[in-house]
Chain A
Amino acid sequence: MFDWVRGIPILSLICYLPLAGALVVVFGLKDPRTIRRFATGIALLDFLLAVPLWFAYDPAGKLFQFTEDGEWIPAIGVRYQLGIDGIALLLVLLTTLLGALAFLSSWSAIREREKEYYTFLLLLQTGMLGVFCALDFFLFYVFWEVMLVPMYFLIGIWGGARRLYASIKFFLYTLVGSVLMLLGILALYFVNGEGLLGFPGLGNPLTFSIEQFHRIGPSIPPALQLWIFLAFFVGFAIKVPMFPFHTWLPDAHVEAPTAGSVILAGVLLKMGTYGFVRFSLPILPDATRRCLPWVAGLAIVGILYGALCAMAQRDVKKLVAYSSVSHLGFVMLGIFALNGPGLSGAVLQMVNHGLTTGALFLLVGILYERRHTRQIADFGGLSAVMPRYAAIFLVVTMASIGVPALNGFVGEFTILIGAFDHAWWWGLYAALGIVLGAAYMLWMFQRVFFGPLDKEENRRLPDLSGRELACLLPIVALCFWIGLYPKPFFQILGKPVAFVVERLDAGLAGAVVSGTVPAAVAPGER
C-alpha cells in the first residue's frame, strides 16, 4: 500500500520540505505563535512523509532504494544522486522523528528570536537528511558542511552562558575535520580517474558516485588507502566524537539549547559513525584492517574515559554528554569488529542512542525549565512530586544502561557478540563499560529522584504537561518496541550490513583480483 512512494522523488521531498518551510518562515510569517506551530507542523509532516519509507523499503531488494539521479555539475562529474539503504533508512526516520520532537520541545524553552530559531532548526533538518540520503560523495559533503552553519547559530544564540566559546569550538573542530575529509574525497575521485601522486588511476570516468567508490575500493593501492582512511578518520572521528577528539562535545552539548542537544546527540554524532560504515569500511577495506588496532584502542579508551568522566559530573546535562562519548565508543567498537553482529548491533545502537540520549536531554531540559539549574545536588526526592516524570526518566535510564526488554540491551548485546567474536578482550572492556554506565546512570537517578525531598524549591515542581508527554512517549514506545521485537530492524539492516562485510572480505581477496573485477564494472551498473 506504500508503493506509491517509489513513484515520486520521495527523498528530495523529505530533504527539502524543511527548507521550503524555512523560506516560508523567513518571508511569510511574523507571529511567534504561528511560526512555532507552522515549523513544528512541517517537522511532523516530514516525519509522516518518512514513515512510508519504512513500509515500502524492500529488505530483499536492491541495496539502495528510492534512488534519484540527475545532472548537477556535469563538468566535474558531480551528480545529484539520492538513495537510501537500510542503515540510512533508520537514520532518516530517527532524524525526522527527533526533529519533530525537538521542535515540539522548544515551544516553552525558546522565547526570543523565534523566527530565526525555527528557521535555523529547519535548515539543520534539511542538512542532516541530505547527509543520510546522498549517494554522491560531493553532494554528501555539501550537506555535511551546510549543516554546520545553522547548528553554530543554534548553540551560539540560544545556548547557555558559555555559548560563544562552545559554538565556535564546535564549528572549528568539525570544519577542520571535514576539510581534511574533503582532501580524502578528492583523492578517491582522482584515483578512480586519472590517478594522482604517482599512483596509477583506474581510468574510469570521473565521478563522485558512492556506489562506484564501493566498487573500486579493493583496487585502490594500499598505501593510498591508508592516507584516504586517515583523512576520513579525522573528519568522522571528530564528529563521533572519538577520544581524543571529543573535547568539543561536552561544551557544545551542555551549552546548546535543549533541542540543539537532542539533535546534536541524537543525529549529528551518528553522522560520524555513519561515515565509517558507509565510506571507510567498504571503500577502504585494507586500510581499515591496518588501522583496526588503533581505532579499536581509541574506542575502548573512549568507552572507559567517557564513563569515568560521566561518573564525576555534578551537572546532569554534562553527565549525559559524557555518557555519549562512552556510548559512541561502544558503537565504534561494534563497527570495527568488522563482522555482521558487530555492525548491525552498532547501527541499531546508533538509533538507540539517538532515542535514549535524545530523551535524556529532553528530560533534563524539562527540569531545567522548571528549576533553572541542572546540578544534581540541587535535587533529591523528585519522584514524590513528579511521579510521571520520574517514571519516564526511569524507563529511559534503564534503556540507556541496557536493561533487557528495552532497546539498549538489544544493541549492546549484539555489539558484545560481535566484539567477543573478534577478540575476547574487546568484549571484556565493553562489558566493563556497561557496568560503569549502569553505575553512573543509576547513581545519578538515585540522587535526583530518591532520598528526602529537602529543597524547598522542589516541593512545588509541576509534573509533565501534555505537550511534554507528547514529546517523550513516542520515544518510550520505541524503546520498548526495539527492546521487545527488534526483528524488523535487523531485517532491514541485514542486507546493507552483509554488503559492508562482503566488501571487507573482497578487500582481503583484493590482492588477487586487484584492478580487474571491481574496476571493470562500468559506473551506473548495479
Chain B
Amino acid sequence: MPEASASLRDALLLGPEALLAVAGVLLLCAGAIGRGVSRREAAWITGGSLALAALVLLEVRARTGPATFLFGDSFILDGYAFFWKFLLLAVVAVVVLLSARFLEPMASRASEYFALLLIATSGMMLMVSAIDLLTLWISLETMSLASYVLAGFWKREARSNEAAVKYFILGALSSAILLYGISLLYGATGTIHLFALARALPTVWAGGGWVAPLGCILLSAGLFFKVSAVPFHVWTPDVYVGAPTPVTAFLASASKLASFAVLARIYLQAFPALRGEWQTLVAAIASASMIWGTLAALTQQNVKRMLAYSSIAHAGYLLIGVLTASEIGLSSALFYALAYAFMTLGAFAAVIVLERGDYAGEACSDYAGLARRAPALAAAMLVFLVGLTGIPPTGGFFGKVFLFAAAVQSGWTWVAVIGVLTSAVSLYFYFRIAVFMYLTKDAREAREAPSPLRAPSLFGAIAVCAGITLWLGLYPGPLIEIVKRSLLALR
C-alpha cells in the first residue's frame, strides 16, 4: 500500500508537531487525574518535550531535501519552515523559563498552562509549514485559541479577563475575515494552494472583477491583525498589559513571529506576481506601524504598554523585509526576527522579575535606582533597551541595518528614512527606563533587591537573552549564514 506508507512518512515528518500536541494533551489529562502534576514537574515535562521536539526536528531536517511536500501538498518542509520551527522552539523554551514564577500562586493549574503553551507551539510550527490556506487557517486557529485562554489565565484578575475577552472577540473577528478572504480567493481561482494561487492569480487579476482583490485584502487584514500592524493593532496594548506577563512575552515574540512568517510566505509565495499591487500597501502599513508605534510609546508610563507599542513599531520594521520582496530583505527580516525575539523576551523577563502581584514592575518608576539595587539586572535590561533602539553592539543594531539596507537597495528609501528616524525617536522611550534605572534615586524606601537565587530560571532566561543579543551584535556572521540558507524560494 504505497499511499498508506506515504502518509505514514508524512506523519512521521511532522513528528515534532505531533509530539508537542500529544504532550500537551497528556499533560492536560495528567493534571486532572489523581494528585495532578506539580508546577515543577509540568515545567520539566514541557521543557523536555520542547527539547525532544527539537531533536526530532533535527533528524527530520537531516532526512528531507530542500523542499519536501507533505499530505498532498498541504505542508512543506523547506529551509524557511525549519528556521522558524527552531526559532519558535527556542522562544517557547524561554517562555517556559519565564512562566515558573508567575505560576507559583496557582501551582495546581500549571499543567493546564503548559499544556496550552505546548498546543499553541504545535499550532505555530504547523503554521510556518502550511502552504494550503485551509491547513494554514486551522493551525493559526490552534495557536490563537490557546493564546486567548492563556491571556485570561490570571483568572481572578479583572485586567486579565478583559484582555482575554478583547483578544478573543477581535481575534475571532479577524479569523472570520481571514476565512472569508480565503473563500473569496477560492471562488476566484478555484484553489487554496499557495503555489497554485501564485500561478492562477495573475490571470484572474488581469481579468478584472473585485473577488480576487477583495480576497487578497481580507486575507492580508487577518494576518496584519496577528502581527499587530497599524491599523489592525488596537487590541495589542490592552491585551499585552492585561495578560500575565509571561503570556505577553509569548504573544510579543512567538505568536507575532509565527504570524509574520506566514504573512511573508503568503506575500512572497502566493502573491509574488502582484508585487506591484501590494508593495505600496505594505510600505504604507509598515510606515504607519513604525510611526504610530513609536509615537504612542513616547507617552506610556506602563512598561508593558510601552513594550506593546514598541512591538507594533517592530512589526513595521519586520514588514520592510516583506516589502522589498528581495532575498536580502527577507534574510534581514529573519535575522531581525531572531534578534527581536530575544530582546523582547529579555525585556519582559526583567518586568517579571520586578513584578510582585501588585503591578510593581509595570510602572517606569518602579525601575528607579535599579542599577544600585540589582546592577546585573539593570545592565541586562540596558542591553535589551539598547538592542531594541538599534544601537550597537547588539543584534538589534545589525538587524535594523540590514533591513534599512534592503530598503535602500530596492528603492524604498523613504521607508528607510522613516525607519531610521523612528528608531532614533524610540531612544526616548526606551531610555526613559534607563533613566529610571541609572539616573534616578529610589524615591521610596529601598526595596529588596531581586535575588537571582529566588528565581534561577528567570535569571537564567535573562542571561541567555542578553548573551544572544550581544553575540548577534558582536559576531553576527554565523547567523547570517544560517539565515541565508533559510530563505523562501523567491520568484
Contact B413 A168 (CB under 8 A): no
Residue in B402, B431, B484 whose Cβ sees the most chain A Cβ within 10 Å: B431
A505 is an interface residue with CB less than 8 A from chain B: no
A156 is an interface residue with CB less than 8 A from chain B: yes
CB of B2, distance to nearest CB on chain A (Å) = 43
Contact B404 A182 (CB under 8 A): yes
Q: A72-B477, A75-B477, A186-B405 are in contact. Are A153 and B424 (CB under 8 A)?
A: no
Contact A183 B435 (CB under 8 A): no
CB of B267, distance to nearest CB on chain A (Å) = 22
CB of A236, distance to nearest CB on chain B (Å) = 16
CB of B466, distance to nearest CB on chain A (Å) = 14
**A175 CA to B409 CA in the complex, in Å?**
22
Residues of chain A contacted by B460 (CB below 8 angstroms)? none
**A180 CA to B417 CA in the complex, in Å?**
7
CB of B190, distance to nearest CB on chain A (Å) = 39
Q: A156-B435, A168-B428, A183-B408 are in contact. Are A145 and B397 (CB under 8 A)?
A: yes
A197 is an interface residue with CB less than 8 A from chain B: yes
Residue in B392, B423, B475, B484 whose Cβ sees the most chain A Cβ within 10 Å: B392
Contact B424 A182 (CB under 8 A): no
Contact B424 A179 (CB under 8 A): yes
A369 is an interface residue with CB less than 8 A from chain B: no
A189 is an interface residue with CB less than 8 A from chain B: yes
Residues of chain B contacted by A176 (CB below 8 angstroms)? 421, 424
A43 is an interface residue with CB less than 8 A from chain B: no
For chain A, the bracket of interface size reads 35 or more
Residues of chain B contacted by A175 (CB below 8 angstroms)? 391, 424, 427
Contact A146 B392 (CB under 8 A): yes
Residues of chain A contacted by B402 (CB below 8 angstroms)? 76
Contact B393 A142 (CB under 8 A): yes
Contact B431 A152 (CB under 8 A): yes
Contact B420 A183 (CB under 8 A): yes
Closest to B413 in A: A197
B411 is an interface residue with CB less than 8 A from chain A: yes
Contact B411 A156 (CB under 8 A): no
A391 is an interface residue with CB less than 8 A from chain B: no
A423 is an interface residue with CB less than 8 A from chain B: no
A157 is an interface residue with CB less than 8 A from chain B: yes
Contact A156 B438 (CB under 8 A): yes
CB of A227, distance to nearest CB on chain B (Å) = 9
Residues of chain A contacted by B427 (CB below 8 angstroms)? 168, 171-172, 175
Closest to A159 in B: B439
Residues of chain A contacted by B405 (CB below 8 angstroms)? 186, 189-190
A454 is an interface residue with CB less than 8 A from chain B: no
Residues of chain A contacted by B475 (CB below 8 angstroms)? 72-73
CB of A27, distance to nearest CB on chain B (Å) = 11
Interface string of B399-437 (1 = CB under 8 A from A): 001101100110101001100110111011001000100
Contact A153 B481 (CB under 8 A): no
B388 is an interface residue with CB less than 8 A from chain A: no
Q: Which 4 A-B pairs have the closest CB atoms?
A: A179-B420, A75-B480, A142-B392, A176-B424
A sample of 26 inter-chain contacts (CB < 8 A) reads A73-B477, A73-B480, A75-B480, A116-B371, A141-B392, A145-B397, A156-B438, A156-B439, A157-B439, A164-B435, A164-B439, A168-B428, A172-B424, A172-B428, A176-B424, A180-B420, A182-B420, A183-B420, A186-B405, A186-B408, A190-B408, A194-B409, A196-B408, A196-B409, A197-B408, A197-B413
